[in-house]
């Protein structure tokens, strides 16, 4: 074997040893990734479902956990709770579970009447009802088929066909959403609209 070939072999061996030592230092026995904790996407050829996909057991896929890297799931909207409330989804404002009443508030309300109605509502053993934020109203709209009981026709006698949110537009108007097509509008607060309280 020539000196040049021997030198190249020795250099290659040194690089291999250095790389192995570096890997051992980074992934020592105590720090080596556990194959069981690495996440489904790394060890399976099956793609993960789209976020929001309802699984066969009724749960909804919520993406990979920021803490564990594993798939996470949330309960599906529309589930009836033991206290009689309905799980509506997760509030985008509080990142907590959002619950609603099984039906709309009876009748139609101006914005101020709607605020007062929800604040005074005592239902299912709870006294902390309120008008939904615009984001929470969108959650109800997105899950309307599972929650049920919403007016999705867009037609109401003596009313706009919209549902109120708590978001005001100045002193005279507030945001509302149609459950027929999801369109947002900011009618006068004196306009009569539908209402579904949340907690």
**What's residue 2's pLDDT?**
57
- As a whole number of angstroms, the distance between CA 84 and CA 34 comes to 43
Q: Is the pTM of this model over 0.85?
A: no
**Torsions phi, psi of 151, nearest 5?**
-80, 105
Q: What is the mean pLDDT of residues 15-37?
A: 35
138 DSSP β-pair partners? none
On the question of pLDDT at 8 being above 70, the answer is: no
Q: What is the percentage of the chain residues whose pLDDT exceeds 90?
A: 50
């Amino acid at each position: 074997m020539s000196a040049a070939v021997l030198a190249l072999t020795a250099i290659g061996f040194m690089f291999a040893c250095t790389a192995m030592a570096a890997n051992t230092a980074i992934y020592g026995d105590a720090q080596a990734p556990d194959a069981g904790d690495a996440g489904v996407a790394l060890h399976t050829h099956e793609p993960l479902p789209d976020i929001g996909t309802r699984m066969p057991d009724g749960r909804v896929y919520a993406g990979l956990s920021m803490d564990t890297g594993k798939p996470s799931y949330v309960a599906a909207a529309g589930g009836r709770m033991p206290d009689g409330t309905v799980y509506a989804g997760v509030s985008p404002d509080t990142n907590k579970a959002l619950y609603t009443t099984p039906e709309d508030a009876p009748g139609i309300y101006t914005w101020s009447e709607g605020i007062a109605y929800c604040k005074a509502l005592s239902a299912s053993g709870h006294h902390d009802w309120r008008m939904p934020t615009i984001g929470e109203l969108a959650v109800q709209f997105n899950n309307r088929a599972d929650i049920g009981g919403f007016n999705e026709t867009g037609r109401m006698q003596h009313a706009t066909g919209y549902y109120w949110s708590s978001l005001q537009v100045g002193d005279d108007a507030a945001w509302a959403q149609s459950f027929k097509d999801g369109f947002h509008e900011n009618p006068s607060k004196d306009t009569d609209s539908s209402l579904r309280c949340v907690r």
